[in-house]
């Protein structure tokens, strides 16, 4: 089945106890004061939806942002949230396409088989005239048995091997950060890019708050010189928008996609990392 689902598809299944709906909205980067996405969730959300806090569910034993936790920790977190491995899981975000694909990727990487994204998110749900509710939602504890897909994740050493092998690496950051013309939002990090990487800002994969069609996505990847029949590794600033590229690649029919979890936040601070600039 297609990864994206429509508001009507979800509405038909909303009262099924096996269906779990998750709001996975992260605050947009660089907005001051920070957007209270949890507060917005409490104020209005799809009925029965719970909040999937990407920040809280990440690995806090490292200084790197948004890193995957251990399989054991993720299992405990999902079980406590009431999400089971076998549930039909539908993820959305409040506006646009930014962080929900990261939640999709996390769940998929830890073995959840039936994970979907609501096409257009909360905005599309509201535009369809469907109801919303307010307040927190809680579910009874469930059983989540994480099964880590190591092929989906690359670390720094593996990324270095890919660079040496001239493998396909797609960078979701802005063109300015990729070229070195614009600064990184994280203090102390140089902008620029990995040798051989291709720039594809994640915003190019969406229009009007929705991911583009499979055909349009394929055209974008072809225009960037990406062969979706060969392995592709995605990266970004902190591993969040790299998941937008990973999702787009899957929808386009890519056969082997992985994500560099440390992304630029890790790469740019490693003394052995080569940083290229075209600015």
Q: What pLDDT score was predicted for residue 29?
A: 80
Q: Do 216 and 137 fall into the same domain?
A: no
CA dist., res. 58 & res. 61, Å (int):
9
Q: How many domains does the chain have?
A: 2
CA dist., res. 100 & res. 121, Å (int):
9
Name residues whose C-beta falls within 8 Å of residue 210's C-beta, 6 or more positions apart in sequence: 97, 119, 120, 124
CA angle 115, 120, 125 (to 5 degrees): 95
Give 207's Cβ-side CA count (13 Å radius). 6
Q: Do 122 and 180 fall into the same domain?
A: no
- Which residue carries 């996609």 as its tokens? 257
| Residue 275 domain-assigned (yes or no) | no
Q: What pLDDT score was predicted for residue 2?
A: 84
Q: Which two tokens stand for residue 150?
A: 């190591």
pTM above 0.85, yes or no: yes
Q: What are phi and psi of 214, to 5 degrees?
A: -60, -40
User: Residue 164, Cβ neighbours under 10 Å: how many?
Assistant: 10
The two beta strands, 232-235 and 168-171, are: parallel
Q: Do 115 and 99 fall into the same domain?
A: yes
3-state SS class at 91: strand
Whether residue 139 contacts residue 52, with contact meaning beta carbons closer than 8 Å, is answered with no
Single residue among 148, 180, 211 that ends a domain in this structure: 148
- The domain that holds 220 is classified in CATH as 3.40.250.10
Residue-wise pLDDT tens for the chain (279 aa)? 589 999 999 999 999 999 999 999 999 887 888 899 999 999 999 999 999 999 999 999 999 999 999 999 999 999 999 999 999 999 999 999 999 999 999 999 999 999 999 999 999 999 999 999 999 999 999 999 999 999 999 999 999 999 999 999 999 999 999 999 999 998 899 999 999 999 999 999 999 999 999 999 999 999 999 999 999 999 999 999 999 999 999 999 998 999 999 999 999 999 999 999 986
Catalytic residues: 236
Q: Do 27 and 102 fall into the same domain?
A: yes
| Residue 76 domain-assigned (yes or no) | yes
Domain span at residue 100? Answer: 4-148
Whether residue 241 contacts residue 202, with contact meaning beta carbons closer than 8 Å, is answered with yes
Q: What pLDDT score was predicted for residue 1?
A: 57
Rounded to the nearest angstrom, the gap between the alpha carbon of residue 168 and the centroid of all alpha carbons in its chain is 19
Q: Do 12 and 61 fall into the same domain?
A: yes
């Amino acid at each position: 089945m297609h990864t994206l689902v429509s508001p009507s598809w979800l509405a038909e299944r909303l009262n099924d106890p096996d269906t779990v709906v998750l709001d996975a909205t992260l605050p947009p980067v660089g907005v001051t004061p920070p957007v209270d996405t949890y507060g917005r969730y409490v104020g209005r959300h799809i009925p029965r939806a719970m909040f999937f806090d990407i920040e809280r569910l990440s690995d806090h034993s490292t200084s790197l942002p948004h890193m995957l936790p251990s399989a054991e920790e993720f299992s405990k977190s999902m079980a406590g949230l009431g999400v089971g491995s076998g549930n039909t899981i539908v993820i959305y975000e409040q506006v646009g396409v930014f962080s929900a694909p990261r939640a999709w990727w996390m769940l998929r990487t830890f073995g959840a088989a039936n994970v979907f994204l609501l096409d257009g998110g909360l905005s599309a749900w509201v535009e369809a005239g469907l109801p919303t509710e307010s307040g927190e939602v809680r579910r009874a504890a469930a059983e989540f048995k994480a099964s880590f897909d190591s092929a989906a994740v690359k670390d720094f050493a593996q990324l270095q091997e890919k660079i040496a092998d001239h493998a396909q690496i797609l960078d979701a950051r802005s063109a300015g950060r990729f070229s070195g013309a614009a600064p990184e939002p994280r203090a102390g990090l140089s902008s620029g890019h990995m040798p051989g990487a291709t720039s594809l800002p994640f915003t190019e994969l969406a229009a009007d708050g929705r991911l583009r069609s499979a055909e349009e996505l394929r055209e974008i990847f072809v225009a960037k010189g990406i062969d979706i029949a060969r392995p592709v590794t995605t990266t970004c600033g902190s591993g969040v928008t790299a998941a937008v590229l990973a999702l787009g690649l899957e929808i386009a029919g890519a056969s082997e996609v992985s994500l560099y979890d440390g992304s630029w936040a890790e790469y740019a601070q490693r003394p052995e990392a080569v940083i290229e600039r075209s600015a």
